[in-house]
Every structure is written in C-alpha cells, then in structure tokens.
C-alpha cells in the first residue's frame, strides 16, 4: 500500500514569492491534515480537509491556504513568503469512518521549504 506522497520534497524560494505544495494521501483516506515543523515552534497544525471541506484550522495567517480535490489529494499554498516560513511542511492522512475520527495519522516525508 503506497504511503502519503508529498511533492516537491525540497524547494527554495525568495521572499514575496508564493509556493504550492502537494499531498497525495493513502488510498481510501479522505482526511488530509497539514503541519508545519520548525526547530523553534515544533510541529504546528495548519489545517485539515475532509471531503473537500476545511474542517479545522490552526493559528496561521491568511497567507496559508489549502484545498482538497475530489480524489482526496490536497494542496497547500503560501503566498507572499517570509523568511519565517522556512520549514518542513508535513502532510498526514487518516481513514475516517463516516467522517468520524479514527485517530491514527499517517505522515508523508514532508516538503522542505527554504525562503531566502
């Protein structure tokens, strides 16, 4: 069974640019969550999508957005990049039973973003 796939794995951008990261969940998983991991702040929840709808959102500015497609694949976008956006962005998928929480998140390897 293929795991969670994130692309690109590494990318370098400059301040003011925007970036789009992609996540393909495990087949059958309809919930996709995004987390930002930095040395200073640790792992922080960005948002969660289920059936193309954002269900939960973390405390990040509006520059961070996401969406989910009908095939459960998800993208997140960061506009007007700042130096502080440099981080490992992790996507996680989970199986849900009728939309209900089942608990286990399966993580991808992440997309490492460097903002210069």
Partner 1 sequence: AQKVTQAQTEISVVEKEDVTLDCVYETRDTTYYLFWYKQPPSGELVFLIRRNSFDEQNEISGRYSWNFQKSTSSFNFTITASQVVDSAVYFCALSEGGFNKFYFGSGTKLNVKP
Interaction with partner 1 in 92-111: which residues (CB under 8 A)? 92, 94, 100-101, 103-110
Smallest separation, CB 90 to partner 1 (Å): 7
Q: What distance in Å separates the CA atoms of residue 48 and residue 78, rounded to the nearest whole number?
A: 15
Could you count the other beta carbons within 10 Å of the beta carbon of residue 107? 15
Q: What distance in Å separates the CA atoms of residue 95 and residue 33, rounded to the nearest whole number?
A: 12
Name the residue nearer to partner 1 (CB basis): 16 or 61. 61
Span from 17-25, 61-69, 72-80, 88-96 in contact with partner 1 (CB under 8 A): 88-96
Binding pattern for the stretch 18-57 against partner 1, x by CB under 8 A and - elsewhere: -------------x-x-x------xxxx--x-x----xx-
111 neighbors 9 (Cβ within 8 angstroms): yes
For 3-43, where are the alpha helices, taking DSSP H only? none
Name the residue nearer to partner 1 (CB basis): 15 or 61. 61
32: nearest Cα among 2, 77, 73, 70:
73
Could you count the other beta carbons within 10 Å of the beta carbon of residue 115? 19
Name the residue nearer to partner 1 (CB basis): 72 or 94. 94
Binding site for partner 1 (CB under 8 A): 31, 33, 35, 42-45, 48, 50, 55-56, 58, 88, 90, 92, 94, 100-101, 103-110
């Amino acid at each position: 069974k293929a795991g969670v796939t994130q692309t690109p794995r590494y990318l370098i951008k400059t301040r003011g640019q925007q970036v789009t990261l992609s996540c393909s969940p495990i087949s059958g998983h309809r919930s996709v969550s995004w987390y930002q991991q930095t040395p200073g702040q640790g792992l922080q929840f960005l948002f969660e999508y289920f059936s193309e709808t954002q269900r939960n959102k973390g405390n990040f500015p509006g520059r961070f957005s996401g969406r989910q497609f009908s095939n459960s694949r998800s993208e997140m976008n960061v506009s007007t990049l700042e130096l502080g956006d440099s981080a490992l962005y992790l996507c996680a998928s989970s199986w849900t039973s009728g939309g209900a929480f089942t608990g286990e998140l399966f993580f991808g390897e992440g997309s490492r973003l460097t903002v210069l």
